[in-house]
Structure 1
Amino acid sequence: MNCSSIQLNDLPNENLVLIFKNLNNINLLYSIIGVNKRFNEIAHDSMFTNCLTLFGYLTNGYIYPLPKLMLDRFCLQILPEIHHKINWLDLEPLTMKRILLSANYPNLTGLGIVNIEKQTALNLLMDETLVHVFKNQISSLVIETINQYDKSADLDTRLFTCIFDIFTNLKYLNFDPDFICHQQISFVISPPTMFSSTLLELDVKPKLPNLQCFSLYCLSEIHFYDEVISMLHRMSNLEELSLYLSVNCNDRFIDGNDLKQNIINYMLRLNLFHFDFRLKAKQGYCHIYSYPFTARSYENIANNFSGGLFTCVSKVTLFDEYPFEHEFFIRIAQSFPFMKFLTITNRKPQNDKQYRKLKNNNQDLLIINYPHLKYIHFKDTHDDYVEQFLLDTKTILPYDVNIYVDYKTLKRVTHNIRRNATQINCYKATYQCFDRIIRFPKYFKDYFHDIKLHIL
């Protein structure tokens, strides 16, 4: 029997394209451009050159520059060769300037800048040699900043002002100062949705007639809602608008009529409006949102939560001054099927548990499954809620879930790390310990999947 070896160059173009489509575009271009004329023609196809992510990234969100040899070849050979085919570039700050100056990009309309400090972003945008060539071309801009605690109250304002002054044809802006630490970004499928948690002031004075899509996320409570409305009035041609705000509004009541009169009536081209408002007025709280709910977090859910289906939400916080019963957690699990982060704050013991003890009622409860849960934080929480999640007769936890709970509480609930009824769920979990523990019991390591100590 004769054996024959088939080399890559022996395959027809259709097969090569199918293979190459499953590879990372950057690695593909680095590997096949310059090999031969046939490979060059395939590599120049728009499916491989249209959108380029010129940095490395790991699954945990860590971002790093391209290796020097790879960067040199891209800047000296590959980018000058395919420059006219590039529509979108995703860059990181250490190599951004060299990449942008290595070629002309006549068809570049989208730019993503990731892993950058806000001051560095401002400096780069103000560099005339860097962006003046593209300022009339860029219609889509994504900026993803790294976590930092800048005390300058006007830095965000200066950065936004710079963006709007430079990019005169801007239609889509997505800006992310310091999103929650657990959020990871990925450019494997599409540019990410980003959030603003620390925005202090946003002053947009000129009109923005070309802006078609605008999103504003602010997790901190704001007192300048009227300024937000004034800013939106300068964006009269918006087609898509997303507002996710926590508003202190003692002097007004925001409802559907208010949104219609102050926002919708000013935007005749508006086709899509997503909103999530958490309103605080004196001692009262109110929550209004559009449906389907598109935000990734749902904060401060109490017992009056009516349920629903929130497939976009991955982060949930629960808070109430009245106890959460087992049926409440059933409603939470059904409403948030893709929940990954859960924080519980409740000091009150469960009434239903006490009632069952008094009546000696051992009727089986419906066991609740949380298939996607990755982090549970018991914050200022009664022991009953720790038991609610650790008892295998009440809850099924997934493997590799991380549990944040006070060590003394954990010892009480697990009967000094010896309780059989909590061992199954604990063995699936990593215990994240922030207490100063001199010594764990010798059997502790066999009770949990893993233990992580954090000495504060």
Structure 2
Amino acid sequence: MSHHIFTVFIQLTHLIFYESSYEHTVRLLFYIPSRRISSSTLLVLRISVQCFHHCLFILDGRFNQLHTLHIHLTNLGSPEAIIKSQAEIPNLKCFVLSCVLPTYDCDSLIPPLVHRMSNLEKLGLHLTIHVNATFIDGNNLKKDILNHMPKLNIFSFDLHSIASINNLIRLPLKEDIQQAFRNFPCTQITTRIDYFLEENWGQYHTYSYPFLMQYYKDITNNFPGGLYQ
């Protein structure tokens, strides 16, 4: 189907292939990374795909005029296929990435990709991440994202970190992580931490406002309310 879209509509500039309902997501599949699936006119793409390597195919130069990409993944894991292109993606100004399933590969996949977007002005990330030593906080985001993106002026995020308590260096308090967000470009940030000592795991959830997604996972008695409507 994806091949026919770009061969029939040769002057296409905007493509919204995305079902807003989380339960009824429609995905555009790229079974073969054919160069025929390309466009020199496409500017805006909102799309659902299966895997992270599909995201890499979209950004390998086949849509060289693309300036806005919203992409929703089912699985954010290490690519099954080898993507050779590591070139800059200079035309992209807005990039929003969300994923349904938790990932163990965030550090090796997301920072290297967004570092290639040298002119990015708006970034959105909605992810659930399994971590080892520390939860994702403002210090991680500054070091891995913000310090590499001088033109970024809007950063929206919804990050849900999950960890085994035994793997954490220490059990941070909510106040510790809020301190890490001091002088952060987002003015409204909500955080919560839950520790489940009998089950030996903890979760840390932080998000900027307005909230990126239409659903909220794993609500507990520590649900902050307020900014989420």
TM-score by length of 2: 0.66
Distance 1:97 1:304 in 2: 47
Map of 2:73 onto structure 1: 196
Candidates 14, 29, 32, aligned match of 1:118: 29
Task: Say if 1:275 and 1:98 are closer, same or farther in 2 by CA, change over 3 A.
Answer: closer
Distance 1:116 1:254 in 2: 29
Map of 1:287 onto structure 2: 205
Q: Give secondary structure in 2 for the equivalent of 1:297.
A: coil
Does structure 1 residue 278 correspond to structure 2 residue 160? yes
Q: Answer whether contact 2:2 2:29 (CA < 8 A) is retained.
A: no
Q: Displacement, 1:95?
A: 6.4
Map of 1:160 onto structure 2: 56
Distance 1:97 1:294 in 2: 29
Q: Displacement, 1:222?
A: 0.8
Consecutive unaligned residues of structure 1, counting only runs of 5 or more, are 1-91, 176-194, 312-456
Q: Displacement, 1:98?
A: 6.9
Task: Say if 1:212 and 1:302 are closer, same or farther in 2 by CA, change over 3 A.
Answer: same
Q: Displacement, 1:97?
A: 6.3
Does structure 1 residue 231 correspond to structure 2 residue 113? yes
Taking only aligned residues, the RMSD between alpha carbons, in angstroms, comes to 2.9
Q: Displacement, 1:296?
A: 1.4
More helix by share: 1
Candidates 215, 220, 232, aligned match of 2:96: 215
Task: Say if 1:158 and 1:117 are closer, same or farther in 2 by CA, change over 3 A.
Answer: closer
Map of 1:259 onto structure 2: 141
Q: Displacement, 1:238?
A: 0.9
Distance 2:73 2:127 in 1: 10
TM-score by length of 1: 0.35
Task: Say if 1:279 and 1:94 are closer, same or farther in 2 by CA, change over 3 A.
Answer: closer
Quick one: which amino acid aligns to residue 264 of structure 1? L
Task: Describe how 1:27-426 pairs up with structure 2 within 5 A.
Answer: 96=5, 99-100=8-9, 105=11, 108-113=12-17, 117-119=28-30, 122-123=31-32, 126=34, 128=36, 131=38, 135-144=39-48, 156-157=52-53, 160-161=56-57, 163-175=59-71, 195-201=72-78, 205-227=86-108, 228-282=110-164, 283-311=201-229
Q: Give secondary structure in 2 for the equivalent of 1:220.
A: coil
Q: Answer whether contact 2:77 2:105 (CA < 8 A) is retained.
A: no
Q: Displacement, 1:113?
A: 4.5
Map of 1:15 onto structure 2: none
Q: Answer whether contact 1:248 1:280 (CA < 8 A) is retained.
A: yes
Distance 1:285 1:116 in 2: 29
How many residues align? The count is 181
Q: Displacement, 1:307?
A: 2.1
Quick one: which amino acid aligns to residue 261 of structure 1? K
Task: Say if 1:96 and 1:197 are closer, same or farther in 2 by CA, change over 3 A.
Answer: closer
Q: For residues 229-264 of structure 1, what are the alpha-carbon distances to aligned partners after superposition, in whole Å with 9 as ceiling and x for unaligned?
A: 122211121111111111111133321122122211
Map of 2:173 onto structure 1: none
Quick one: which amino acid aligns to residue 60 of structure 2? F
Consecutive unaligned residues of structure 2, counting only runs of 5 or more, are 19-25, 165-200
Q: Give secondary structure in 2 for the equivalent of 1:274.
A: strand
Distance 1:300 1:259 in 2: 23
Q: For residues 393-440 of structure 1, what are the alpha-carbon distances to aligned partners after superposition, in whole Å with 9 as ceiling and x for unaligned?
A: xxxxxxxxxxxxxxxxxxxxxxxxxxxxxxxxxxxxxxxxxxxxxxxx
Distance 1:163 1:262 in 2: 20
Distance 2:141 2:7 in 1: 46
Q: For residues 82-132 of structure 1, what are the alpha-carbon distances to aligned partners after superposition, in whole Å with 9 as ceiling and x for unaligned?
A: xxxxxxxxxx769636733xxx63xx432345656514xx55x7263x74x
More strand by share: 2
Task: Say if 1:239 and 1:169 are closer, same or farther in 2 by CA, change over 3 A.
Answer: same
Identity, % of aligned positions: 33
Of 283-292 and 273-282, more deviation after overlay is shown by 283-292
Q: Relative CO higher for 1 or 2, CA cutoff 8 Å, sep ≥ 6?
A: 2
